[in-house]
Amino acid sequence: REAPIPKMLAPCLLRRVVLTVPLVFVAALLLMEPVRSDQEAGTAIPAESRPCVDCHAFEFMQRALQDLKKTAYNLDTR
Protein backbone atom coordinates (compact mmCIF):
# COMPACT_ATOMS: atom_id res chain seq x y z
CA ARG A 1 0.00 0.00 0.00
CA GLU A 2 1.26 3.46 -0.90
CA ALA A 3 2.15 5.93 1.79
CA PRO A 4 -0.40 8.78 2.06
CA ILE A 5 0.75 12.22 0.96
CA PRO A 6 1.14 14.52 3.95
CA LYS A 7 -1.45 17.32 4.10
CA MET A 8 1.19 20.06 3.79
CA LEU A 9 2.81 18.44 0.72
CA ALA A 10 -0.35 18.31 -1.44
CA PRO A 11 -0.84 22.12 -1.75
CA CYS A 12 2.87 22.52 -2.43
CA LEU A 13 2.73 19.97 -5.28
CA LEU A 14 -0.44 21.55 -6.66
CA ARG A 15 1.16 25.00 -6.63
CA ARG A 16 4.25 23.63 -8.35
CA VAL A 17 2.14 22.00 -11.08
CA VAL A 18 0.08 25.16 -11.56
CA LEU A 19 3.26 27.19 -12.05
CA THR A 20 5.12 24.61 -14.12
CA VAL A 21 2.48 23.87 -16.77
CA PRO A 22 2.18 27.46 -18.10
CA LEU A 23 5.96 27.79 -17.95
CA VAL A 24 6.32 24.71 -20.16
CA PHE A 25 3.79 26.11 -22.66
CA VAL A 26 5.57 29.47 -22.81
CA ALA A 27 8.93 27.76 -23.31
CA ALA A 28 7.46 25.59 -26.08
CA LEU A 29 6.02 28.65 -27.84
CA LEU A 30 9.34 30.44 -27.63
CA LEU A 31 11.26 27.47 -29.02
CA MET A 32 8.89 26.77 -31.90
CA GLU A 33 9.74 28.25 -35.27
CA PRO A 34 7.15 30.86 -36.22
CA VAL A 35 5.02 30.13 -39.27
CA ARG A 36 5.61 32.60 -42.05
CA SER A 37 2.64 33.96 -43.95
CA ASP A 38 4.19 32.99 -47.30
CA GLN A 39 4.14 29.30 -46.38
CA GLU A 40 1.20 27.42 -47.83
CA ALA A 41 -0.46 24.31 -46.50
CA GLY A 42 -0.24 21.17 -48.58
CA THR A 43 1.98 20.66 -51.59
CA ALA A 44 4.15 23.54 -52.67
CA ILE A 45 3.77 24.32 -56.38
CA PRO A 46 5.99 27.08 -57.75
CA ALA A 47 4.06 30.22 -58.65
CA GLU A 48 5.33 30.08 -62.25
CA SER A 49 3.57 26.77 -62.90
CA ARG A 50 0.29 27.71 -61.22
CA PRO A 51 -2.37 29.39 -63.34
CA CYS A 52 -3.42 32.76 -62.01
CA VAL A 53 -6.83 33.32 -60.46
CA ASP A 54 -7.95 35.31 -63.49
CA CYS A 55 -7.04 32.40 -65.77
CA HIS A 56 -9.10 30.02 -63.65
CA ALA A 57 -12.04 32.42 -63.73
CA PHE A 58 -11.71 32.86 -67.49
CA GLU A 59 -11.63 29.09 -68.09
CA PHE A 60 -14.63 28.62 -65.82
CA MET A 61 -16.60 31.31 -67.65
CA GLN A 62 -15.66 29.78 -71.01
CA ARG A 63 -16.94 26.37 -69.92
CA ALA A 64 -20.13 27.92 -68.53
CA LEU A 65 -20.71 29.80 -71.79
CA GLN A 66 -20.17 26.60 -73.80
CA ASP A 67 -22.67 24.78 -71.57
CA LEU A 68 -25.19 27.58 -72.08
CA LYS A 69 -24.72 27.46 -75.84
CA LYS A 70 -25.23 23.68 -75.85
CA THR A 71 -28.34 24.02 -73.71
CA ALA A 72 -29.74 26.76 -75.96
CA TYR A 73 -28.99 24.68 -79.06
CA ASN A 74 -30.70 21.64 -77.53
CA LEU A 75 -33.76 23.71 -76.64
CA ASP A 76 -33.88 25.17 -80.16
CA THR A 77 -33.69 21.73 -81.79
CA ARG A 78 -36.59 20.40 -79.72
Q: Residues 31-53: pLDDT tens digits? A: 877 666 555 566 676 767 766 76
Is pLDDT of 21 > 60?
yes
61 or 4: which leads in pLDDT: 61
What pLDDT, on a 0 to 100 scale, did the predictor assign at position 30? Answer: 81
Is pLDDT of 29 > 60?
yes
Q: Report which listed range, 4-8, 30-34, 55-59, is most confident.
A: 55-59
Q: Phi and psi at residue 9, in whole multiples of 5°? A: -80, -35
Torsion over CA: 42, 48, 53, 56 (sign)? negative
